[in-house]
Structure 1
């Protein structure tokens, strides 16, 4: 797509005039000070579990950085200056130190002032870390020794497709995708068209969902070829000597076999699509030697523009290839047994195939899955675990396979994957000597360590357990105890006697601690501070209540610091929600108390409004249930209304919420919900709808959890669209949208047209379009603006108490 430099304008209209104000507002002081605070660092543990990399994160980018020229091509947004992800899609790091887990000794890495980097990755032997550093005219590969010494190795890293660096298994070198040498100047688009853009379909069914940032013409294709074409090279980690590997091309992804002898690559081919992102383009998946000599083509797949619109639809032929992590060089992939159509009535929908080096034999079938293949957790020849999922029923299967004996599949469990109470956890992983992820076995190899959320009605208390490979019951080894939420990060010894956890509580900021499984005091490893101590007095509590049809519901109620309901009375209250679809009412009604979680808002969080005197019912359950095969969305409005009525009644009964000062808000599908509740209820005095979609005829081939097309479910699409009922929205509504929204289905035109419809019907509406912002707003100025707008809107239309009626004769 064209080089994009969007105008720095703010649309803020409360009348028929197009614009009444310009410039960015600063959020109220209590909010702005928190936004200016540095974010909590990220951490990464070395493969040997001895060293923790502490990664400083940049704060919100400036609108100037966000507004640099970008290219929007085939589903990607890139910075042509660096040939990497655009600022809007990158989380830059700005500091690095190494901390010894046992002793606490910390070594700070000295990098030049102002250095920004990303893609920090440990070498398999844990002796060093690779980072990709942003420079004025590109991206460079650096290596950092655990001693703290940092040095550049190679320039010209091409990260347009994403991950561009992978360590060799012996840690001696890295495989890097670079820009093509001597590629010349980028192509420029002619201002004179060479002819019309013509697309044609000759009776072949090819339904597609709506996508952003697709190619639109021949000029876009040239730009795509120029910036995304790459050359794989081997870079010596000690000397920086670079050796080309194979031929350049549109190398979307690559991975090294565990023994370091082979490369698996995916190369895109023409013809490209103007309707679909690059994930659907023709692709050749092949194996080469590590120096680029062709070995085996797994599949040469054409353009995948004819998939059914169902969520579990997949391409025909081999897909999702990967190396078997616990073997030297064995390739594994999935293939559909139903032609890619999940509606087909077949006993198994996928098969998992396996092919070992030298790749000259026929592939063998490892297993068949009842539903659509999910992933494989590798262990050894005797045990690996395969998962699959079926969207329509929310069913998950977990199966044990013996890779050394293909075809020996045992069902371990079947569950509803939305069931929080029954979640058995997932296998814990470690990096093996080749740097690949494998399951952690107990010393006797009879069980695998697993960890999970431990969600129950009283709360969430993560756990560590062992899962026998023979399928017998798990054994709990350790469970977090109140008042902490304490997730297991890793085992610090092979027997699982010492563990590293991330511990937090309602009042304690998250930090990493070492503890013994069988008791004893915990030793804190990090000392990250509360990023927003001014919110320490905020009270949170999980409340439960019941929908009119008996479905139990819950939400997290926050009240401002120092608030007392008996003393201070009801508050103006904001319900901020996001509907979810379920197939089981019992699962939809599960309640997990969040009272042991540390909550501090960041970015454009609605929780900042706690500083302005509002109570907030956060994430009140808004289940839309389609039980026994029924389509949930056919009763969407009715269920949504009942969800909201129950939530409002609950906070009013508690004496916290003021029935006459209720607001509703949400982002994306939550914005869609907000407009619908204002159209179909009289519960709220105002609403805030951010980055929503309001007219479902603009997403005719499915949206959110709706798999049916507009032509299959026309009444549902029509009734669910608040655009249809814009004339019924009488309460003030604030629309906010990123002018460069990159989310499928929430094109800015959705808010453009909704604003026009509301204004044309006499509604009280303000529409704020944030320049250069994607679906979730990033720039510091945009964040301040969003929070100022939300505060101003609620202060105008929700906070003031209604005047008491004047008695007759007065």
Structure 2
């Protein structure tokens, strides 16, 4: 009898833990469905002269059938082995062109029926555009004559886009380098059917290899074989008349890059050995310079397998890195090398040195400058003028220098030295223009350069253009947006001398459109596009940016939306959804700055909480959740306290306005926002329910750092324990909806994170629901998945928030 009772008890417990609900894909309420099905406005490309516009159209979503096509996950890549292109590629299905002066675009003729277009690459002369079309069987190369608005297939060759960078134009704009599938590529191994020849063995030889928890890594010799076969390509030269000639023989080619004068090509080729603990971008590789005729000139870099490097976000490998062409020279390479062995814990005066080497690449490298922080880039200007920048994560510091590339004995002049999280004092980005080689270089007029900035400030956002005196290193404002009811983003300078700037203007009800603005003439604005607001049902929704203070006095903000048809005068108390994402800062000043703009167009993307303004909810979106650690303190040392403080301040602020019933507030978030949700529900009683999508809940499963935490578990085990909702599952008393993509590829957010957390919650008697979306990655893309996700969220909110007893 005792054994029988034990058996029955075991079966009851087992059934409880394994209880599952068979459910087909569902759809949300009609008012949400209407918004989801709104067609996307096209993506826009306007050429550097401001003459021609290309419009790229696509469906907002894939289908679950598309996501169900064959997929191999190898070395950090996701590949469709049948078609030889990334299995998660975003495809466009139509193209149109117009002159910027035309009102309506013209349909591109000659496009294939049911085409799937990607990898767009405009020729140097900007008259033609090459692109890929993926059929059921292969990837094809096509070209668009922009002026004539006619497209045609250029070749029947089978393109290999598995490693990206499949198309590169010659500088003459008449020929293209294309990666194709080699004729002698071997058949792939069917992993599910292959009989193992032995165990898989990996070895640690005593060196520390503290890597993030990457996904889609190689796991066996069979994976290695398949990766190599899919990475192999032959490079051919195809002329616009269809003539084809061999350029480089079969190898595992990665990136290709023509020199500014077009005489040379820099070619990166992957090598063996492969790795089971890092993705392919840390495999060994070799960089060769070849002529435009495909003849090898010189091997300029050889990089070994990079499994082991020092600890910390600012760690890097030794040797040449950031190898690139000088944009202002015909054919000169430049690169950075670490002066601290790539170890941020080594004390040195300069972290990096930058060198150059001119064609024919046989001489000794020339030192250009040394940087105090880790080198991040150069804007080239002329023989005696360039601007370099560096950064250091731990202090959030960035520096910019003017230096003379022709004389390294001249000390670089420091022009900016600031906290890059300090948006109010961001000087902006230097304006560039196309030079004689078609490359972007520093735009200068009579010893003046120009800075274009977002314009965040205490009084609001007012994008600007400053004139920067290269001699005095002082700025003078020459344009500042004056809109208080719209948002004007400065896109690019078409003609700086004439003051012709491409801008994008939007408001809460006005869909973003492009215009030419003459900054030297008042109210001189010429429309380029004329997209209408497709979200009519939201155009009268009340939206405002509210500011409030945390208990410790830190200024916070959030974007508040009131329900459709809400009467502000009556102030009826409604349920609320708070949606947020935590961000780390090293100083309170930067953390308190307002970067939300109330004039941004009201746009509900696939994962947005805004859909629920149609269901009677108040929504506080992008609520500020700063986690601050000043001085020697790390932000995460007080993560939970600050997290709860942020949430309480947000709820208090909206409650004070009289809009909500604070007993009916839900909290939601995606990825690190999901991690936030689980922690808030575990450590506070502020919420009626939570929605956590694609999160990580046990930080011991990401032991060598996560998000902005660079300490390992063994450096600070208490941090990993305190921040892990899994470790505090017994505290969960609030209903939690967990959603996760079955094929999540984001570092650390394995689907196992949600599965194990849910099992813990269920075992401890918490109210929870776990939804695994088949085939979906970290972000969801199939229409069926997104509609079902919205249905799940709506059902959860109705039961535990809106109808809360």
What TM-score does the superposition give when structure 2 sets the normalisation length?
Answer: 0.95
What is the CA distance between 1:40 and its match in structure 2? 1.2
1:636 aligned residue: 639
Segment of structure 1 superposing worse, 221-230 or 287-296: 287-296
Provide closer, same or farther for how the CA distance between residues 650 and 757 of structure 1 changes in structure 2, counting only shifts above 3 A.
Answer: same
2:625 paired with 1:622 = yes
In structure 1, how many angstroms separate the alpha carbons of the residues matched to 2:433 and 2:176? 21
Question: Does the 8 A contact of 1:138 with 1:157 survive in 2?
Answer: yes
1:782 aligned residue: 785
Q: Residues 703-718 of structure 1: matches in 2 within 5 Å?
A: 703-718=706-721
What is the CA distance between 1:17 and its match in structure 2? 4.6
Provide closer, same or farther for how the CA distance between residues 593 and 69 of structure 1 changes in structure 2, counting only shifts above 3 A.
Answer: closer
In structure 2, how many angstroms separate the alpha carbons of the residues matched to 1:76 and 1:377? 31
1:469 aligned residue: 470
2:113 paired with 1:98 = no
* Per-residue CA distance 1:427-473 (angstroms, 9 max, x = gap): 1233334332223223x3x1223211111123222122222222522
* Per-residue CA distance 1:16-43 (angstroms, 9 max, x = gap): 4532232101121112122222111111
1:143 aligned residue: 143
* Per-residue CA distance 1:56-81 (angstroms, 9 max, x = gap): 12220110111111110100111112
1:576 aligned residue: 579
Please, which of 499, 514, 539 is the counterpart of residue 542 of structure 2?
Answer: 539
1:807 aligned residue: none
SS class of match (2:33): helix
SS class of match (1:793): helix
2:444 paired with 1:441 = yes
1:731 aligned residue: 734
In structure 1, how many angstroms separate the alpha carbons of the residues matched to 2:749 and 2:15? 23
Question: Does the 8 A contact of 2:487 with 2:597 survive in 1?
Answer: no
1:116 aligned residue: 116
Segment of structure 1 superposing worse, 172-181 or 429-438: 429-438
* Per-residue CA distance 1:248-304 (angstroms, 9 max, x = gap): 211111101111111111111111111110111111122122223222222212111
1:205 aligned residue: 208
In structure 2, how many angstroms separate the alpha carbons of the residues matched to 1:327 and 1:649? 59
Question: Does the 8 A contact of 1:57 with 1:93 survive in 2?
Answer: yes
In structure 2, how many angstroms separate the alpha carbons of the residues matched to 1:138 and 1:639? 52
1:513 aligned residue: 515
Question: Does the 8 A contact of 1:734 with 1:767 survive in 2?
Answer: yes
2:166 aligned residue: 164
1:309 aligned residue: 311
Question: Does the 8 A contact of 1:281 with 1:303 survive in 2?
Answer: yes
SS class of match (2:537): helix
Question: Does the 8 A contact of 1:457 with 1:592 survive in 2?
Answer: no
2:689 paired with 1:690 = no
What is the CA distance between 1:568 and its match in structure 2? 4.4
What is the CA distance between 1:104 and its match in structure 2? 4.1
SS class of match (2:604): coil
Q: Residues 604-619 of structure 1: matches in 2 within 5 Å?
A: 604-619=607-622
2:296 paired with 1:297 = no
Provide closer, same or farther for how the CA distance between residues 44 and 380 of structure 1 changes in structure 2, counting only shifts above 3 A.
Answer: same
2:32 aligned residue: 31
In structure 1, how many angstroms separate the alpha carbons of the residues matched to 2:488 and 2:570? 35
In structure 1, how many angstroms separate the alpha carbons of the residues matched to 2:132 and 2:432? 25
What is the CA distance between 1:494 and its match in structure 2? 4.2
SS class of match (2:349): coil
Segment of structure 1 superposing worse, 564-573 or 703-712: 564-573
In structure 1, how many angstroms separate the alpha carbons of the residues matched to 2:401 and 2:36? 46
* Per-residue CA distance 1:100-128 (angstroms, 9 max, x = gap): 11344633211133122112222111111
* Per-residue CA distance 1:624-657 (angstroms, 9 max, x = gap): 1110121111111111111111111111111112
SS class of match (1:392): helix
Q: Which has the higher contact order (CA 8 A, sep 6+)?
A: 1
2:212 paired with 1:226 = no
In structure 1, how many angstroms separate the alpha carbons of the residues matched to 2:48 and 2:173? 12
In structure 2, how many angstroms separate the alpha carbons of the residues matched to 1:14 and 1:320? 56
Question: Does the 8 A contact of 1:459 with 1:596 survive in 2?
Answer: no
In structure 2, how many angstroms separate the alpha carbons of the residues matched to 1:105 and 1:650? 46
SS class of match (1:69): coil
In structure 2, how many angstroms separate the alpha carbons of the residues matched to 1:557 and 1:243? 60
SS class of match (2:421): coil
What is the CA distance between 1:496 and its match in structure 2? 4.0
SS class of match (1:769): strand
In structure 1, how many angstroms separate the alpha carbons of the residues matched to 2:16 and 2:560? 35
2:20 aligned residue: 19
1:676 aligned residue: 679
Question: Does the 8 A contact of 2:509 with 2:533 survive in 1?
Answer: no
SS class of match (2:456): coil
Question: Does the 8 A contact of 2:41 with 2:57 survive in 1?
Answer: yes
Question: Does the 8 A contact of 1:458 with 1:592 survive in 2?
Answer: no
In structure 1, how many angstroms separate the alpha carbons of the residues matched to 2:658 and 2:675? 29
* Per-residue CA distance 1:136-170 (angstroms, 9 max, x = gap): 21111111112112111133221111221111122
SS class of match (1:705): coil
Q: Residues 754-765 of structure 1: matches in 2 within 5 Å?
A: 754-765=757-768
2:705 aligned residue: 702
In structure 1, how many angstroms separate the alpha carbons of the residues matched to 2:607 and 2:758? 22
* Per-residue CA distance 1:298-317 (angstroms, 9 max, x = gap): 22121111112311111110
What is the CA distance between 1:235 and its match in structure 2? 1.4
* Per-residue CA distance 1:196-225 (angstroms, 9 max, x = gap): 001111222212110000001011111111
In structure 1, how many angstroms separate the alpha carbons of the residues matched to 2:235 and 2:151? 23
Question: Does the 8 A contact of 1:123 with 1:167 survive in 2?
Answer: yes
In structure 2, how many angstroms separate the alpha carbons of the residues matched to 1:471 and 1:774? 51
SS class of match (1:520): coil
- Unaligned stretches of 5+ residues in structure 1: 1-12, 803-810
What is the CA distance between 1:378 and its match in structure 2? 1.8
Provide closer, same or farther for how the CA distance between residues 593 and 752 of structure 1 changes in structure 2, counting only shifts above 3 A.
Answer: closer
In structure 2, how many angstroms separate the alpha carbons of the residues matched to 1:531 and 1:401? 49
In structure 2, how many angstroms separate the alpha carbons of the residues matched to 1:364 and 1:490? 33
In structure 1, how many angstroms separate the alpha carbons of the residues matched to 2:607 and 2:237? 42
What TM-score does the superposition give when structure 1 sets the normalisation length?
Answer: 0.95
2:348 aligned residue: 346
In structure 2, how many angstroms separate the alpha carbons of the residues matched to 1:440 and 1:129? 26
In structure 1, how many angstroms separate the alpha carbons of the residues matched to 2:107 and 2:64? 30
Provide closer, same or farther for how the CA distance between residues 388 and 471 of structure 1 changes in structure 2, counting only shifts above 3 A.
Answer: farther
2:198 aligned residue: 195
2:522 paired with 1:522 = no
* Per-residue CA distance 1:697-717 (angstroms, 9 max, x = gap): 000000000000000000110
Give the root-mean-square deviation of aligned CA atoms.
1.7
Segment of structure 1 superposing worse, 334-343 or 185-194: 185-194
In structure 2, how many angstroms separate the alpha carbons of the residues matched to 1:401 and 1:135? 50
In structure 2, how many angstroms separate the alpha carbons of the residues matched to 1:15 and 1:559? 40
2:489 paired with 1:490 = no
Segment of structure 1 superposing worse, 320-329 or 558-567: 558-567
Provide closer, same or farther for how the CA distance between residues 402 and 49 of structure 1 changes in structure 2, counting only shifts above 3 A.
Answer: farther
In structure 2, how many angstroms separate the alpha carbons of the residues matched to 1:435 and 1:108? 28
